[in-house]
Chains A and B, each alone.
Chain A
Amino acid sequence: MPTKPIRDDATVELAPGTDLTGLELSQREGFLLSRVVGRKQTVGDLLKVAGMLADDARTILARLALRGVVTVKAPGGGPIAEDDEFDGMVFSPADLGAPADLTIEQKKRILYVEANLSRWNHYGLLGLKRTADAREIKKGYFRASKEFHPDAFFRKELGPYKARVDRIFRAMKAAYDVLNDEKRRQEYDDTVEVGLTPAEERELRELAQKAEEKKEQAQKDERLQARLKDRRLKRNPMFDRIHKARAFITQAETALRGQKQAAQAARLARLAKDYAPQDGGIKARADVVIAQANLERARALAGRAEAIIATYENDRILEFVDEMEQLAPRDPAVLLKAAKMANSAKNPQRALKLATTAASLDQASQKAREMVYLLAAGVGSWHTALKAAEWLRDKDPKSGEFKNMVKEAKRNL
C-alpha cells in the first residue's frame, strides 16, 4: 500500500501534548509510535529501527502525522514528501487496494483529481490559467478528455474507479461547457472566487525557481570572473610586484592610523610606489600617505623646536629647518617654528624668508606679521618691516605699540 513517500531526511518526533494513553492504535501503529516516543530523529533513522517494510512504515507514519500524533518536518520546512505531484495527499490504502485494471499511478491520479473536484474551479479542473484563450481552453479540455473520457479505459475493469472516472469526466465537460461559451464564462468569472489555479500556481513556482536559478547563475558568473582575473594576474610577471605593492600600501595606511608611525608609513608607501611604479591607483594612495606622513613629521619637529634649539649646534638646527621646510612647505605653523629655529641658529635672513612665506600662506596671522617685523627690523630690512607694521596697525588701530612700530620703521627709512 504505497503512499507518497516521506523524505528520509525529514525529522520526526511525538507531537507535543499528545496523550498516549488516549490513542486508539493498531498494533503496528503502536509499535512504530514506541520507536518515536522520547527522541527526535530523522525518518531514515526511524525506518532502520522500525522493524517493518520501509514503505509500510512510511504509510503508517503518514497516517500518524495526519492524525496529529507525530510531527514530521522536512529540513528547511519544505514539503515532507519527495515530490508534490499530488500536493502531499495521503491515499487511503483501501482505495488503492481496490481491484481495478489500473496502475497505482493511475489510481492515485484519479483519486487525487476526484478529491479536488469541488476545490478546483473550472480553470483548475482543466489545468488552465484564468487568462486562457478559447484555443487554450479547448486544448485543456482535449487533454483532460484523453485522460478521463470513458474510452480511455475502454473495456477495462475499473471497479469502484468507474464511478470516479465518470464523475471526473462529467465535471470536466461541465467546466468546458461553461468556459467554451463566452457569455457563460463571463458570468462564471464574475462569481468565482479569486484564487490561483494549480496551473497558475505551477507557473508561479516555475517563475520563482527561474529567478532563483538566475540569481545563482549571476553569482556563479561573478565568482568565475574573479577567478579568471586572478589567473590572468598570476600569469603576469608584474603580478608579484603589484601584489607586494598592494600589501605595502595597505600596511602603510594602517601605520598612518597608528600613533607616531608616520615615518614608517611614509617608508612603506614609498616602497609600494617603487614596486608598482605603473600602477596609478597605488601611486595616488602612496602619495596621500607620504604627504600625510611628512606633515606629521614636520609637526612633530615643530613641536620639539625648543628642545632642538637647546640641544643641537647651529648647523644641525639649520638641517632640521631644511627638513621641516621640505616636509611641510605650505604649513604656516611649521614654517613659523622653522623661522624661530633659523633665527636662533644665527641665520636671520633665512628666518625672515620662512616667516614671510608663513605670513603669505596665512593672511590672517598676527603672529606671523609680528615675527616678520621683528626679523626684518633685526636685519635692517625696513621696507618689509614697515609693511608688516602697517598691516598690524590697520588690523588693530587702537594699539599704541603697533603705531610706534610704524613710526620706528618710517624713521629708520
Chain B
Amino acid sequence: MERVIGIDLGTTNSCVAAVVGGIPTVIANRGGYKTTPSMVAIAESGRRLIGHIAKRQAITNAENTVYAAKRLIGRKWSDPRTEAARADLPYTIIQGDIGDIRVQLRDRVYTVPEISAMVLTEMKKVAEDHFGEKIERAVITIPAYFNDGQRQATKDAGRVAGLDVIRIINEPTAAALAYGYRKDIQKKVAIYDLGGGTFDISILDIGEGVFEVLATGGDTFLGGEDFDRRIVEWLVFGFAKEHNIDLRNDPMSLQRLRDAAEKAKIELSMTQTTEINLPFIISTGKNDSLHLQRTLTREKLEELTSDLVERTLEMCNRTLKAAKIESDELEDVILVGGQTRMPRVQAAVKEFFGIEPSKNVHPDEVVALGAAVQAHALVTQGDGEPDLLLLDVTPHNLGIMIAGGYFQTLIPANSTVPTSANHMFTTVRDEQTAVKIVVLQGESGVAADNELLGEFILTGLRKAPRGEVEIEVTFDISPDGIVSVSAKDMDTGKEQSIQVTATNRLSDDELERIIRENEEYAVTEAGMEAFGRRRTEVERYLREIDKLRPAVEELMRTSDFGGDALTKADRLIDRAKTAIKMQDAAALDEVREQLERTAQMFKGVAAKLNR
C-alpha cells in the first residue's frame, strides 16, 4: 500500500505523522524532535534554513527569518490584520501584485504559500528519511476557522512542496479523529484548540466510527503568539518608561524579547515566578549598553492575558449555541495546542464546560496523528464499509452580494460538507450579455465586512429582453471546505463560462513558476549537500596524509622513486585544496579516489617503519 502522511502545519511548530501497522505514529526529525519549528530563513549564502536551524539563527538574522507565516497565508494585503501584524514582525512584508501579502527576504520576494511550502518540504523530508521511500500524498491540517482563501493557499503550498494534498482537514477535527480512532466511543465532545496563532473550538458527535462536527468556531488571529506579544509589550513598555527607548525598533532586540517572552510563558506553566534576563539588550552608542532584567509572576501573566482567555470562552459559548446543545451534554473536552498547557487556560475551560479536560492526548502531536488517520482512512477505502468517516462543516456563511451592498447567505455556517446551493441570476437590462456575481464568506449582513472570495462574471449570455435569460449558479463546497462556482443557462441547459476576476489566489502560471524554481533550488541544494559530504571525506584524507607525512618522507627520501611519489602526493593535495576553495564538486570528485589511495600507501609505509 502506498504510504501517506499527515502534516500539522502549525503557526509555531509543525509535526508529521503516519499510520504504521495500524497505529498512528509521530515521526521524529533528524534531531530527534517530534515537532519542527515552522520557521524559514535565508542565510547569507542564499541557502534556505528550515526548522531548528532557522530558529537557532533567528536572533542574528531576524530580518531574514520568517515565523508565523500561517498568520499571513491566504490573507489579503487590505485585511486590517495585515497592518497589525506588520508592526510586530521583524521581517518585511510587501503587497503582491494580486493584492496578496509577500515576504521580502534578502534580494528576493516570496509568496506566503512558498514559505509554507518550505516548511512542508522539510516535513515531507523528515518522513521520507524515516521510511526511506518517496512520499507524495498527504493530508494537511488547517485551523477550522480558515476561510476559502486560506484553504486554497494552504493547498497551493502543498502543491509547491511537491505533495499531492489529498485532503485539507480542520485541526480540531483531526484531534478528534486521533482521540476516537479505533475506539468504540459514542459521545459528544468539544475540542478546544488554542495553538500558536489560531484558536478553534469544535463540537463533535462521535459514534459508529463516524465523526460528525456539529459546529465549529474560532479566531484565526488568536493564539500563543498573542500571549507572547502581551509579555513583549509589557517588557517594552516597562523598558520605555525607564529608558525612553522603544526596543521594537531594533529587529534583533525584538527577536530576543520574543524568545525570552515565550520561554518565560512556558516556565510560568510550571512555576509561579520567572526571571527575564536580557543583558546588552540594546546599545546606546559610546560603548554603553543597556540591560533588561525583570521578574514576571504567573499572576501578572494571567492579568496580561485574561481578555484573550475570555475571548476563547465567548467563542465556546457561541459555538455551543450553534451546535444546539447544552454544555452538560458534552462528555469530554479535549485540549489541543501548546497554549493549553497554561494553567489559567485549563482552569477556565474546566470552569466553562464543567468537566475536567481530557489528559489522554498530546496537545502538540494529536493534530498530526489525526491527519495521518484521515489520510490512511481515505487511501485504504476499499469495497467494504470505511472504518472511519468524517462529516465536517463549513465554518463561515457563504453567500453573494445583493442590491444595496447587503450579503445574502446561500450556505449557512456549520453546514455539513460537501454541500451546494443554487441561485438563479437573471438579466436586468435588455440584451445584457454579462452578469457579475460577488461571492463572499463571513458572518456580517453587510457584504463589505465579509471576506471577498472572488468576483465571477458570467459572460456570453444570449441577447434577449431583460429577465428572459435565467442563469442557475451552483455554489459548491468540497469536503476540503473549498468553494467552487459553476453556472448553467436554464433555457438552453448549456454550461455557462465563468471568469474569475478578484481573488488573491496565485495563478496556475505563477504556481508553475514557483514549483520550477523550487525544483531548481532542490537540485542545487542536493549538489551542495553532496559537495559537503565529499569535502568532509577529502579533508579527512588530507589530515591523515598530513599526519603521516614526516615519517613517510624520512623513509622515502633514501629511495630513488620516493621523491617522485612525494611530489605527486603534494600536487594532489594542492588540487584538492583548490577544489575545496572553489567549491568545485566535480574536481573534488576526481581527486577523492587518488587521495584515498595515497593515504592507503602512506599508512602502509608508516606501518613498515614501525615494525
Q: Besides the contacts A146-B210, A152-B386, what 15 more A-B pairs have beta carbons closer than 8 Å?
A: A103-B383, A138-B207, A139-B208, A142-B389, A146-B385, A146-B389, A147-B385, A149-B389, A151-B386, A151-B390, A152-B381, A152-B389, A154-B381, A155-B166, A173-B419
Q: Of all chain B residues, which has the CB nearest A101? A: B383
- In the bound complex, how far is the Cα of B418 from the Cα of A147, in angstroms? 15
Within 8 A of A (CB), among B163-194: 166
Total chain A interface residues with beta-carbon distance under 8 A: 20
- In the bound complex, how far is the Cα of B418 from the Cα of A169, in angstroms? 9
B472 within 8 A of A: no
B205 within 8 A of A: yes
Q: Which of A146, A151, A154 has the most CB of B within 10 A?
A: A151
Partner of B208, one of A142, A151, A169, A170: A142
User: How far is the CB of A188 from the nearest CB of chain B, in Å?
Assistant: 18
16 A–B pairs (Cβ distance < 8 Å), ordered by A:
A142-B210, A146-B208, A146-B385, A149-B391, A151-B377, A151-B381, A151-B390, A152-B389, A154-B378, A154-B379, A155-B166, A155-B378, A169-B418, A170-B420, A173-B416, A173-B419
Name the B residues within 8 Å of A146 (CB-CB).
208-210, 385-386, 389
Name the B residues within 8 Å of A151 (CB-CB).
377-378, 381, 386, 389-390, 479
User: How far is the CB of B372 from the nearest CB of chain A, in Å?
Assistant: 16
Residue pair B210, A145 in contact (C-beta under 8 Å): yes
Digitize A145-165: 1 where CB-to-B-CB distance is under 8 Å, 0 elsewhere.
111011111111000000000
B156 within 8 A of A: no
Q: Of all chain A residues, which has the CB nearest B209? A: A146
B122 within 8 A of A: no
- In the bound complex, how far is the Cα of B391 from the Cα of A169, in angstroms? 12
- In the bound complex, how far is the Cα of B479 from the Cα of A151, in angstroms? 8
* Shortest beta-carbon contacts, A-B, top 5: A142-B210, A142-B208, A154-B381, A154-B378, A146-B389
User: How far is the CB of B551 from the nearest CB of chain A, in Å?
Assistant: 67
Residue pair A138, B205 in contact (C-beta under 8 Å): yes
Main secondary structure of the interface of A (DSSP, over half): helix
B interface with A by C-beta (< 8 Å):
166, 205, 207-210, 212, 377-379, 381, 383, 385-386, 389-391, 416, 418-420, 479
Residue pair A145, B389 in contact (C-beta under 8 Å): yes
A interface with B by C-beta (< 8 Å):
103, 106, 138-139, 142-143, 145-147, 149-156, 169-170, 173
- In the bound complex, how far is the Cα of B479 from the Cα of A173, in angstroms? 14
- In the bound complex, how far is the Cα of B208 from the Cα of A3, in angstroms? 32
Name the A residues within 8 Å of B377 (CB-CB).
151
With A146-B385, A149-B391 in contact, do A139 and B207 touch (Cβ < 8 Å)?
A: yes
Name the A residues within 8 Å of B386 (CB-CB).
146, 151-152
Name the A residues within 8 Å of B208 (CB-CB).
139, 142-143, 146
Name the B residues within 8 Å of A138 (CB-CB).
205, 207, 212
User: How far is the CB of B414 from the nearest CB of chain A, in Å?
Assistant: 11
Name the B residues within 8 Å of A145 (CB-CB).
210, 389, 391
User: How far is the CB of A365 from the nearest CB of chain B, in Å?
Assistant: 94
Name the B residues within 8 Å of A106 (CB-CB).
383
Name the B residues within 8 Å of A139 (CB-CB).
207-208
Q: Of all chain B residues, which has the CB nearest A103? A: B383
Name the A residues within 8 Å of B479 (CB-CB).
150-151
Name the A residues within 8 Å of B419 (CB-CB).
170, 173
Q: Which of A145, A156, A169 has the most CB of B within 10 A?
A: A145
Name the A residues within 8 Å of B378 (CB-CB).
151, 154-155
Name the A residues within 8 Å of B389 (CB-CB).
142, 145-146, 149, 151-152
- In the bound complex, how far is the Cα of B384 from the Cα of A147, in angstroms? 9
Name the B residues within 8 Å of A155 (CB-CB).
166, 378-379, 381
User: How far is the CB of B468 from the nearest CB of chain A, in Å?
Assistant: 29
- In the bound complex, how far is the Cα of B209 from the Cα of A153, in angstroms? 16
Q: Of all chain B residues, which has the CB nearest A181? A: B324
Q: Which of A146, A150, A173 has the most CB of B within 10 A?
A: A146
- In the bound complex, how far is the Cα of B208 from the Cα of A156, in angstroms? 23
Q: Of all chain B residues, which has the CB nearest A144? A: B210
User: How far is the CB of A147 from the nearest CB of chain B, in Å?
Assistant: 7
Name the A residues within 8 Å of B416 (CB-CB).
173
- In the bound complex, how far is the Cα of B374 from the Cα of A151, in angstroms? 10
Name the A residues within 8 Å of B385 (CB-CB).
146-147, 152
- In the bound complex, how far is the Cα of B210 from the Cα of A151, in angstroms? 12
Name the B residues within 8 Å of A103 (CB-CB).
383
Residue pair B207, A142 in contact (C-beta under 8 Å): yes
- In the bound complex, how far is the Cα of B212 from the Cα of A146, in angstroms? 11
- In the bound complex, how far is the Cα of B484 from the Cα of A2, in angstroms? 39
- In the bound complex, how far is the Cα of B203 from the Cα of A157, in angstroms? 33
- In the bound complex, how far is the Cα of B212 from the Cα of A151, in angstroms? 14
User: How far is the CB of A167 from the nearest CB of chain B, in Å?
Assistant: 11
- In the bound complex, how far is the Cα of B379 from the Cα of A173, in angstroms? 24
Name the A residues within 8 Å of B383 (CB-CB).
103, 106
- In the bound complex, how far is the Cα of B390 from the Cα of A106, in angstroms? 21
User: How far is the CB of A149 from the nearest CB of chain B, in Å?
Assistant: 6
- In the bound complex, how far is the Cα of B386 from the Cα of A151, in angstroms? 9
- In the bound complex, how far is the Cα of B416 from the Cα of A149, in angstroms? 11
- In the bound complex, how far is the Cα of B166 from the Cα of A151, in angstroms? 11
Name the B residues within 8 Å of A142 (CB-CB).
207-208, 210, 212, 389
Q: Which of A106, A149, A153, A173 has the most CB of B within 10 A?
A: A149
- In the bound complex, how far is the Cα of B274 from the Cα of A273, in angstroms? 114
Name the B residues within 8 Å of A170 (CB-CB).
419-420
- In the bound complex, how far is the Cα of B139 from the Cα of A151, in angstroms? 14
User: How far is the CB of A181 from the nearest CB of chain B, in Å?
Assistant: 8
Q: Of all chain B residues, which has the CB nearest A149? A: B389
Name the B residues within 8 Å of A150 (CB-CB).
418, 479
Q: Of all chain A residues, which has the CB nearest B387? A: A146
- In the bound complex, how far is the Cα of B383 from the Cα of A103, in angstroms? 8
Q: Of all chain A residues, which has the CB nearest B374? A: A151
- In the bound complex, how far is the Cα of B420 from the Cα of A169, in angstroms? 12
User: How far is the CB of B367 from the nearest CB of chain A, in Å?
Assistant: 19
- In the bound complex, how far is the Cα of B378 from the Cα of A149, in angstroms? 12
- In the bound complex, how far is the Cα of B419 from the Cα of A15, in angstroms? 48
Q: Which of B205, B208, B379, B420 has the most CB of A within 10 A?
A: B208
Name the A residues within 8 Å of B420 (CB-CB).
170
User: How far is the CB of B283 from the nearest CB of chain A, in Å?
Assistant: 59
User: How far is the CB of B208 from the nearest CB of chain A, in Å?
Assistant: 5
- In the bound complex, how far is the Cα of B169 from the Cα of A151, in angstroms? 13
Name the A residues within 8 Å of B212 (CB-CB).
138, 142
Q: Of all chain B residues, which has the CB nearest A106? A: B383
User: How far is the CB of B574 from the nearest CB of chain A, in Å?
Assistant: 59
- In the bound complex, how far is the Cα of B380 from the Cα of A156, in angstroms? 11
Name the B residues within 8 Å of A173 (CB-CB).
416, 419
- In the bound complex, how far is the Cα of B385 from the Cα of A106, in angstroms? 11
Name the A residues within 8 Å of B418 (CB-CB).
150, 169
Q: Which of B166, B205, B389 has the most CB of A within 10 A?
A: B389
Partner of A153, one of B210, B381, B391: B381
- In the bound complex, how far is the Cα of B445 from the Cα of A86, in angstroms? 48
Name the B residues within 8 Å of A147 (CB-CB).
385
Q: Of all chain A residues, which has the CB nearest B137? A: A155
Q: Which of B209, B379, B386, B419 has the most CB of A within 10 A?
A: B386
- In the bound complex, how far is the Cα of B385 from the Cα of A156, in angstroms? 14
- In the bound complex, how far is the Cα of B212 from the Cα of A173, in angstroms? 12
- In the bound complex, how far is the Cα of B420 from the Cα of A254, in angstroms? 88
- In the bound complex, how far is the Cα of B208 from the Cα of A103, in angstroms? 24
